[in-house]
């Protein structure tokens, strides 16, 4: 915490300190977070009351670890129907807060709409109204929406209509079931059952209806059907699809239809974008998105739709926006069941998981801010939460089971998060930096705070400081943007010097290559030079550019040796290690000691093992196919064929310190080029070594690859047998020891 306090007290010093301490900052924050979690677990009962206690946490950017954080929201109070002067609520399904802070409840079980003021006292109740001289009532109204002008739209579900009232509760008009031909199947009339709705500034209605899987129903202000928006992509099962083509019509009808997912709720933000949620999503698709989150997933529990129906929700946080990411074990299994989304200040939004009674809040860019669930007495909890909404920073939760509204108020930590996001959204970058630093003083594990500070510095043109904070948050995408801007400034400022330096380096490179070429020519004429280790290693340059002559000389003129081949193998492994651990920050993977150790072993054995397997398998096969090369010759030619990998990895490692993340294709091209060239050289090296024709070498190579698979199988079989043998011996020993 000392470093965080110094940063807070002296921001300029902190900017420099962040650069020097980014490597150790992450583990310090983890330790601080663990200690804080233990303190909260051990002494939390002394700090807060039972009614306000809860569990607030966040997923890291990789979505694999949970970090406990200070509470962002705490229980404030609860309102039952009787507290509002409207008698008890019965199975309420929706709530809405207008621009003035007034609260509206769809009291479904009582067939009424209850309008409350900001203090949760009843303004009026809609239960009976007159349409064309006839008294009407609601029939299980499940959704409502209030426009900026105060017009109240009610989804009268079982009456198959939308009813519109003015801001005082006076009836204006009803919009009956629209004619939608595509929903009529086999002359069976579709039953229109609206459950949620939203109205844009132009008066267009967007309706969520039961059993409609083609998207959101869009209606004109007069209630005329205009089309569907936001249809989810279908996830096909290829096997089922194939069999369905072979079945009769009757059999095919019994199979599950390939239909898109139904939406279950809808909301509208101040910019006119629709937030729609879905819970009945294919389990495998959702699990796949959690495991490998995408910025444009095929299916999603939440979408932000523009007027054209396209999903424009930003997913820059590196995790799936789907609630709980760890869905195995514990009290609940399976992914979260998202039933509503509330839009808060600065574009932040909260998802309601009805299955777990949890609330997940994200920034406008999709970074997770916090997730929380309130524990304690039954009064503070929602047994069956159905809707959420923001009211002046507070979070309102509607509980259908007990008919109550639970009010959660932001803590100091939650208010700081809202303030920082609002300041950044209003281009108050300097103010947002100070607010984010106050957030860090309360929670040093908050990656979003580091990202927020970095973004503010980035907008202010302070790219070094921005990169330092992005590095602390392990946000490589944002780091790449700042690095690209900084690099452009340096290129513009020092272009002449950089160009001159690049030309000098190219000249030195060509000079070195010419020297190697001359050395190889001299070694060919002088046996004394040819026998030196340095000469044998430099001959690899000749072999990769003249493979037929080079590999022939490796075998017949002894230009290579087992020792030099082994050195080349080790150098190639070393180049891969350098590529893994000494590349630029944007191209390194894994920061923990355990990850680096695992990556090191994977790198070493990832090359050495295939090379040795190839040598062994190729020798076994070519011995049966009249090959002229010994196992020594095969080993030498294979190791010399690895020189392209060695060279391209060194070049890629150097380039990685200058390229941005968006330019990774150049690194990928070099890497693939090295491997491709090495494979070709191994192939032609084997052909020359064994004096094979092209067709015979192809056959021998294919059989060698199969031989490698057989060798691996035999090794695993032996290891399994040995393991079981030692296990059996251990059991016998324990049995004898027990009986004695």
394 and 527 share one domain = no
Q: Is the pLDDT of residue 20 over 70?
A: no
Same domain? For 152 and 300 the reply is yes
Question: In this structure, how many other beta carbons lie within 10 angstroms of the beta carbon of residue 440?
Answer: 24
CB 406 within 8 A of CB 397: yes
Q: Does the pLDDT of residue 53 top 90, yes or no?
A: no
Q: How far apart are CA 107 and CA 399, in angstroms?
A: 11
Q: Output the CA angle 654-659-662, nearest 5 degrees.
A: 145
Residues 105 and 243 in one domain: yes
Q: Flag whether pLDDT at 144 surpasses 80.
A: yes
Question: Is the same domain home to 524 and 406?
Answer: no
> Does residue 321 sit within a domain?
yes
What's the CA gap between 46 and 131, in Å, rounded?
Answer: 59
Q: Is 453 a member of any domain?
A: no
Q: What range does the domain containing 523 cover?
A: 519-723
Confirm whether 569 is domain-assigned. Answer: yes
Higher pLDDT, 24 or 319: 319
Torsion angle defined by CA atoms of residues 67, 70, 76 and 78, in that order, rounded to the nearest 10 degrees: 10
Q: Are residues 527 and 404 in the same domain?
A: no
Q: Choose one of 371, 395, 410: the last residue of a domain.
A: 410
Kindly state whether residue 59 falls inside one of the protein's structural domains.
no
User: The domain spanning residue 316 has which CATH number?
Assistant: 2.120.10.30
Residues 397 and 532 in one domain: no
Let me know whether 389 and 527 are in one domain: no
**Closest C-alpha to 101, from 82, 83, 119, 88:** 119
DSSP string, 78-134: EEEHHHHTS----S--EEEE-TT--EEEEEGGGTEEEEE-TTS-EEEEESEEEETTE
Residue 182 CA to residue 340 CA, distance in Å, equals 27
pLDDT in tens, 645-668: 999 999 999 999 999 988 999 999
Give how far Cα 169 sits from Cα of 101, 151, 173, 546, Å: 17, 9, 12, 89
Predicted confidence (pLDDT) per residue in 158-169, tens digit: 999 999 999 999
The residue whose two tokens read 């959702």 is 286
By DSSP bridging, strand 338-343 and strand 349-353 are antiparallel
User: Which residue carries 């989804």 as its tokens?
Assistant: 155
Establish if 188 belongs to a structural domain: yes
Residue 7 inside a domain? The answer is no
662-694 pLDDT, tens per residue?
Answer: 899 999 999 999 999 999 999 999 999 999 999
Q: Is 583 left (phi over 0), alpha (psi -120 to 50) or beta?
A: beta
Asked if the model's pLDDT at residue 554 lies above 80, the reply is yes
| Mean predicted lDDT score pLDDT of the chain | 83
pLDDT tens profile 458-491: 988 999 999 999 998 888 888 999 999 999 999 9
- State the pTM of this model: 0.74
| Residue 558 falls in which region: left (phi positive, over 0), alpha (psi -120 to 50) or beta | left
- Angle, vertex CA 443, rays to CA 289 and CA 53, nearest 5: 85
Per-residue pLDDT at 558: 83
Contact in structure between 363 and 448 (CB atoms under 8 Å): yes
Percent of the chain with pLDDT over 70: 84
Please check whether residue 255 lies inside any domain of the structure: yes
CA-to-CA distance for 618 and 708, rounded, in angstroms?
A: 8
Lowest pLDDT segment from 346-360, 460-474, 595-609 = 595-609
State phi, psi for 657 to the nearest 5 degrees.
-85, -5
Shared domain for 130 and 262, answered yes or no, is: yes
Are 387 and 532 in the same domain? no
Residue 439 inside a domain? The answer is no
Task: Answer yes or no: do 400 and 533 share one domain.
Answer: no
Together in a domain, 217 and 95? yes
Lowest mean pLDDT among 95-99, 372-376, 533-537: 372-376
Considering its fold, how many domains does the chain have in total?
Answer: 2
Give the helix, strand, coil percentages of the chain, each rounded to 5.
Answer: 50, 20, 30
């Amino acid at each position: 915490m000392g470093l965080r306090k110094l940063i807070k007290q002296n921001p300029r010093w902190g900017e420099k300190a962040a650069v020097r301490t980014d490597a150790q900052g992450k583990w310090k924050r983890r330790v601080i977070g663990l200690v804080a979690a233990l303190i909260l677990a051990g002494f939390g009962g002394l700090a807060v009351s039972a009614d306000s206690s809860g569990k607030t946490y966040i997923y890291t950017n990789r979505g694999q670890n949970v970090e406990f954080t200070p509470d962002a929201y705490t229980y404030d109070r609860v309102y039952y129907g009787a507290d509002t002067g409207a008698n008890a609520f019965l199975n309420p399904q929706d709530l809405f807060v207008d621009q003035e802070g007034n609260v509206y409840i769809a009291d479904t079980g009582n067939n009424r709409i209850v309008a409350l003021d900001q203090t949760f006292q009843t303004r009026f109740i809609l239960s009976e109204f007159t349409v064309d001289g006839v008294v009407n009532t609601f029939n299980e109204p499940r959704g409502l929406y209030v426009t900026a002008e105060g017009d109240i739209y009610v989804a009268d579900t079982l009456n198959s209509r939308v009813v519109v009232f003015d801001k005082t509760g006076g009836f204006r008009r009803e919009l009956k079931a629209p004619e939608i031909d595509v929903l009529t199947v086999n002359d069976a009339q579709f039953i229109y059952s609206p459950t949620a709705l939203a109205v844009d500034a132009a008066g267009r209605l967007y309706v969520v209806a039961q059993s409609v899987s083609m998207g959101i129903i869009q209606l004109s202000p007069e209630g005329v059907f205009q089309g569907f928006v936001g249809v989810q992509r279908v996830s096909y099962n290829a096997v089922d699809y194939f069999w369905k083509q072979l079945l009769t019509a009757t059999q095919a009808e019994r199979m599950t239809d390939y239909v898109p997912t139904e939406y279950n709720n809808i909301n509208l933000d101040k910019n006119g974008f629709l937030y729609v949620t879905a819970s009945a999503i294919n389990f495998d698709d959702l699990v796949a998105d959690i495991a490998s989150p995408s910025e444009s997933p095929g299916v999603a529990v939440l979408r932000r739709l523009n007027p054209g129906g396209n999903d424009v929700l930003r997913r820059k946080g590196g995790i799936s926006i789907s609630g709980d990411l760890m869905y195995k074990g514990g009290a609940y299994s399976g992914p979260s069941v998202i039933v509503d989304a509330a839009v808060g200040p600065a574009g932040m939004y909260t998802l309601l998981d009805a299955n777990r009674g949890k609330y997940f809040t994200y920034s406008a860019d999709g970074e997770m801010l916090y997730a929380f669930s309130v524990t304690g007495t039954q009064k503070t909890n929602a047994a069956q939460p159905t809707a959420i909404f923001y009211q002046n920073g507070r979070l309102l939760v509607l509980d259908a089971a007990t008919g109550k509204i639970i009010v959660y108020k932001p803590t100091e930590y939650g208010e700081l998060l809202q303030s920082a996001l609002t300041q950044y959204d209003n281009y108050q970058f300097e103010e947002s930096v100070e607010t984010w630093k106050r957030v860090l003083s309360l929670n040093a594990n908050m990656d979003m705070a580091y990202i927020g500070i970095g973004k503010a510095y980035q907008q202010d043109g302070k790219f070094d400081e921005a990169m330092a904070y992005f590095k602390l948050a392990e946000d490589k995408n944002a780091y790449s943007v700042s690095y690209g801007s900084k690099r452009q400034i340096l290129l513009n400022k020092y272009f002449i010097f950089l160009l001159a330096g690049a030309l000098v380096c190219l000249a030195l490179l060509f000079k070195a290559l010419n020297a190697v070429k001359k050395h190889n020519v001299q070694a060919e004429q002088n046996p004394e030079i040819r026998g030196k280790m340095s000469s044998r290693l430099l001959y690899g340059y000749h072999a990769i550019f003249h493979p037929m002559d080079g590999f022939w000389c490796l075998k017949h003129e002894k230009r290579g040796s087992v020792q030099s081949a082994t050195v080349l193998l080790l150098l190639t492994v070393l180049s891969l290690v350098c590529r893994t651990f000494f590349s630029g920050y944007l191209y390194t993977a894994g920061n923990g000691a355990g990850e680096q150790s695992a990556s090191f072993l994977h790198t070493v054995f990832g090359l050495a093992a295939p090379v040795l397997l190839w040598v062994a398998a190729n020798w076994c096969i070519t011995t049966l196919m009249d090959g002229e090369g010994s196992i020594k010759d095969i080993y030498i030619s294979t190791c010399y064929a690895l020189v392209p990998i060695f060279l391209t990895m060194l070049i890629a490692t150097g380039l990685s310190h200058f390229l941005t993340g968006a330019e990774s294709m150049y690194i990928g091209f070099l890497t693939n080029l090295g491997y491709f060239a090495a494979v070709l050289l191994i192939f032609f090296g084997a052909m020359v070594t064994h004096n094979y024709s092209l067709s015979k070498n192809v056959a021998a190579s294919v059989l060698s690859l199969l031989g490698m698979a057989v060798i691996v199988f035999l090794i695993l079989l032996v290891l399994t047998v040995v393991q079981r043998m030692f296990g059996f011996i251990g059991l016998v020993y324990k049995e004898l020891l027990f009986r004695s």
